Amino acid sequence: MSHPQDLSLREQAAAIASGALNPAELLDATFARIEERDGALNSVVVRFPDEAREMLAEAPRGPLYGVPVLVKDMFRLPWYAPHDGAPGVAAPPGESAVYRRLRDAGAVIAGITQCHYWGAGSTGHVSAWGPCGNPWNPAHCAGGSSGGSASAVGARLAAAAVGTDGGGSVRLPSAYCGVTGLKVTFGAIDGEGYTHGFSDMGAIGPICRDAADARLFGEVLTGQALTRGDGGPLRVGVIRDPWWTDLDPEIERACDDALDAAGWQRVELSLAAAEHQQAAALVCLTVQSLPMISAEELAEADPILRALTKFELTLTPAIVHQAARVRSLLRRAVADAFTRCDVLAWPTVPAPAPPIENPTVELPSGRAPADPGNLRQTGLGNLTGIPGISVPVGLHSSGLPMALQLQAAWGDDGRLFDAAEHLEQATGREFVDAAPEPAAAQSSRS
Amino acid sequence: MRASLHVLGYDVDETEIAVMRVADGVYGPQLRALVAADLSGVWAEPDMDPSRAPSARFPAGIE
């Protein structure tokens, strides 16, 4: 057998269940691989060898019995206080709902993954844990804010990791790292013990190598069967403006080719108030997060984050009200769109992962910070509450992954797995089975 | 910007002002367009539940 972390999540679970794989040996091999490969990535920032072995000793024979998984630095665990990527403690130790789901499924939590400072960025280069590298090139960003989860899965350190998504934070790093990440319908995964559970923008989600693994992990996290149907005969809504504009040409072509390969019927649509969705997403994220940041935390924060937070403090009540009205318009417009199509599709990110040293991207409109374009591509899902999945669709000439985002109506999360699996089959699984060279993961960040 | 933050009890240094100017250059035009958007007659959805589609009755004013 190859290294057990080269097996998929479902293969690991099946091998343990059949007796072909010893879960204690899998756990040891997982820690060894993290030790071997994570030095240049910095994706697994806290490791739990003792607690993981205790979990394994008490694990029930659930669907993930004995399988090591990773959790973002935003969840309470009985032995761990989450930090949100900041120096201070964001919440005390305790049992989050995600912890209980994993424990009851028999999974073993092997460690905590890196998180962008306060979860407030899409690059992952700012964090009290230090920046997180991309498994395809550690000098480039893993993304954020669930960058550690996506990087660890992409580097084959674990087959599954939990992420959270308040403005794209599952989908964006998944796209950067060439893995599959789902933001569930708002509330589909219980947010108790999730440090941003106060927000009506944030959702939790599975990050895995492919759609079948993400479905399995998603079913564990939601506690529901995520139905398996035919992802072939779908009507795909394509909204050119703004989501197919100002894109890296290779990404636009890869996503277009993926839709062609899938053979889905395309429906050209427009969306009321779409031109204001990026600003509305920024405002809604801001007004919900700012009250949670104390003056003391702000004074001690990363200097760039501190300045950006002060910029956000100048937003006026008038713009907050406008954002709420745009949000309502968008929710209605999206509901109407889903009477004409089954899923919406556009690129998850406008450009490949930027360098850690200079997290800007080159777009047709010019060089720009990565965050605004990323939020433009993913904010709609958070404003409306609909589920979205990022699926790998190729490698850029830079050697970094490219990804397509599919979004479905509220509660239709299972359809996204159907669509993603169909797309994987239509492209010969070329992009989900692609793995970065371990040498890349071991190289220095320079 | 400096004055409005002072009212809120925050001081800003020159480095922060420089970062805020960059942020305003990136996000400012869209934020100002949002403020200026004519949304008269559009109501924010009361008791919005992002886990489900909006009620058919909201938002008003877009028919």
Work out how many CB contacts closer than 8 A connect A with B: 126
- Please tell me the predicted confidence (pLDDT) of residue B58: 62
Q: Which of B30, B47, B49, B57 to mutate to test the interface with A (most CBs of A within 10 A)?
A: B30
Domain count, chain B: 1
Query: Could you give the percent of chain A with pLDDT greater than 70?
Result: 98
> Residues of chain A with pLDDT > 90: what percent?
90
How many alpha carbons fall within 13 Å on the CB side of residue A417?
27
Q: Report yes or no on B63 lying in a domain.
A: no
Residue B15 located in a structural domain: yes
Cα(A157)–Cα(A154) distance, integer angstroms: 8
Q: Find out whether A304 and A312 touch, Cβ atoms under 8 Å.
A: no
Asked if residue B16 belongs to a domain, the reply is yes
Does some domain include residue B47? no
Does residue A445 have a pLDDT over 50? no
Classify residue B7: in a domain, yes or no.
yes
pLDDT for B62 beyond 60: no
A361, β-bridge pairs: A368
Rounded to an integer, the average pLDDT of A101-110 is 98
pLDDT at A232: 85
Non-local (6+) Cβ contacts of A85 within 8 A are: A73, A114, A115, A116, A117, A118, A119, A126, A127, A128, A129, A145
Place of tokens 């960059």: B22
CA atoms of A323 and B44, how far apart (whole Å): 9
Using alpha carbons, select from A307, A350, A374 the residue that is nearest to residue A145: A374
pLDDT at A118 over 60: yes
Between A283, A324, A328, which is nearest B54 by CB?
A328
* pLDDT tens string A33-70: 999 999 999 999 999 999 999 999 999 999 999 999 99
Q: How far is CA A6 from the centre of its chain?
A: 20
From chain B, the residues in CB contact with A308 under 8 A are 19-20, 23
Chain A: give the shortest CA distance to residue B29, in Å: 9
pLDDT for res A1: 55
| Domains of chain A, start order | 7-227+436-442 (3.90.1300.10), 235-417 (3.90.1300.10)
Residue B57 binned pLDDT confidence (cut-offs 50, 70, 90): low
For residue range B16-35, list pLDDT tens digits in order: 999 999 999 999 999 999 99
- B48 in reach of chain A (CB within 8 A): yes
Question: Is residue B51 in a domain?
Answer: no
User: Per the domain annotation, does B19 fall within a domain?
Assistant: yes
Q: What is the pLDDT of residues A202-225, one digit of tens each?
A: 999 999 999 999 999 999 999 999
- B40 reaches A (C-beta below 8 A): no
pTM (2 d.p.): 0.96
Backbone angles phi, psi at A110, to 5 degrees: -90, -20
State which residues form the domain around B6: 2-36
Section A322-334 average pLDDT: 96
**How far is it, in rounded angstroms, from Cα A252 to Cα A248?**
6
Tell me the pLDDT tens digit for each residue of A134-186.
999 999 999 999 999 999 999 999 999 999 999 999 999 999 999 999 999 99
For the four alpha carbons of A124, A122, A142 and A173, in that order, the dihedral sign comes to: positive
Residue B50 within any structural domain of the chain: no
